[in-house]
Structure 1
Amino acid sequence: MSNNIADIRKDYKLQSLSESDALPDPFALFEKWWKEALEAGIDEVNAMTLATASADGMPDARIVLLKGFDPKGFTFFTNYDSVKGAQLLENPRASLVFFWKELERQVRISGLAVMVSEAESEEYFNSRPENSRIGAWASPQSQPIASREWLEENERKMRQQFSDGVIKRPPNWGGYRVRPTHIEFWQGRPNRLHDRLLYSLQIKGDWKIQRLAP
């Protein structure tokens, strides 16, 4: 095996993406690809890169988990006081990227992130395992802490505090929905001549479809 990074390459040849495959609604095409990704048994199929930026334009990115999608957008949950939460407060523009390498596919989504309703956040929080609900209270996400021991001690304190089994949602924890203005579907093809179809939201609410050069 070569140790030269430049020599690492893969030729994509599984499928194609033509205009005839392009459903008028990008959410319908995403649902089709999502079902195919589920059927392919992709590990953590809902893992996606979330890119945000601060008010001064400094970009930031991390992996988060998709928890729902519908024609209103793509939903994830987090601590509102985290770095991502602070950035979305300053600058609500966000991008999401799914990469399903087993299918040689990528989906890029750009739009505005808005908080979901408290009722929606409550419903999802209460559906989480007990340890995850405790963790939401125990971790001051993105803030500097003294040590791992401090975090574990704080978790123990939270377990004692909620020993009656009633774990309410922290007021600074909830969901965001990214409402897309652009969705790009990328299908790997041989010789780096990949298929790229871009959906752009129009003023009247319909979607314009364009093929992009790879």
Structure 2
Amino acid sequence: MDITNIRGKYTTKDFDIKDLDKNPFKQFELWFNDAITENLPEPNAFTLATTGLNMMPSVRTVLLKYFSEKGFVFFTNYDSKKAKQIDENPNVAALFTWLVMERQIKIEGSVEKISKADSLKYFLSRPKGSQLGAWVSRQSEVISSRALLEQKFNEMKNKFLNKEIPFPSFWGGYIIKPIRIEFWQGGEDRLHDRFLYELQEDNSWQIKRLAP
């Protein structure tokens, strides 16, 4: 199948370093708010890349739940494949892709677990179904059928009917602490604008323009 004729046309003009905030987290917030304003589906969805000791990279889509100048937080099962790879190698990469807006944001850094208290706080804010789902799904493990998964869900639902669902010890949050954040804006004739923020030893950020 030849798909060489599939070409998108980028139309953004005049995006320069002067248009960027000196703080990458504030710049991220500006673009993230633009994505919300544009009513993009799941604007907080991003691709997370991890690599374990076997050096075979793995990627998947996860959801950003909150961010600050400390980093970017997502939640998962601590027994999942991604968690096991993080245990072996805490260096990760993340990519937000908002092609409708001709924008991407790439984040590189290390990741670590957030506190149990912060994970619990978020867990309690989740809908009951999502709380039950955290208990039912042994993420990344092989299962025989969806019917078995649904059976376990219904069993847990009945078990905790009209009761508070306990916090699972094997589930919680991670925070990505970036050392590099790149903002990509599509441009005409594939002359895209790329700006890289790099963390310096004094915790300041240096901004560089990259070739497209």
Query: Number of aligned pairs?
Result: 212
CA distance in 2, matches of 1:150, 1:99: 34
Alignment partner, residue 68 of structure 1: 66
**Superposed displacement of residue 43, structure 1:** 0.9
CA distance in 1, matches of 2:13, 2:164: 49
Alignment partner, residue 11 of structure 1: 9
**Superposed displacement of residue 37, structure 1:** 1.0
Q: TM-score, normalised by structure 1?
A: 0.96
1:36 counterpart letter in structure 2: D
1:182 counterpart letter in structure 2: R
Is contact 2:13-2:188 (8 Å) kept?
no
Is contact 1:16-1:187 (8 Å) kept?
no
**Superposed displacement of residue 15, structure 1:** 4.5
Aligned equivalent of 1:152, options 127, 139, 150: 150
Aligned equivalent of 1:205, options 190, 203, 206: 203
Corresponding residue SS for 1:5: coil
Alignment partner, residue 118 of structure 2: 120
Structure 1 segment 18-37 matched on structure 2, within 5 A? 18-37=16-35
**Superposed displacement of residue 159, structure 1:** 1.2
Q: What 5-or-longer segments of structure 1 have no aligned partner?
A: none
Q: TM-score, normalised by structure 2?
A: 0.97
Is contact 1:95-1:110 (8 Å) kept?
yes
CA distance in 1, matches of 2:149, 2:104: 36
Alignment partner, residue 178 of structure 2: 180
Q: What is the Cα-based RMSD across aligned positions, in Å?
A: 1.1
Which 4+ residue blocks in structure 1 deviate beyond 4 angstroms? none
Alignment partner, residue 107 of structure 2: 109
Q: What 5-or-longer segments of structure 2 have no aligned partner?
A: none
Alignment partner, residue 55 of structure 2: 57
CA deviations over 1:49-72 (Å, ceiling 9, x no partner): 000011121100000011011000
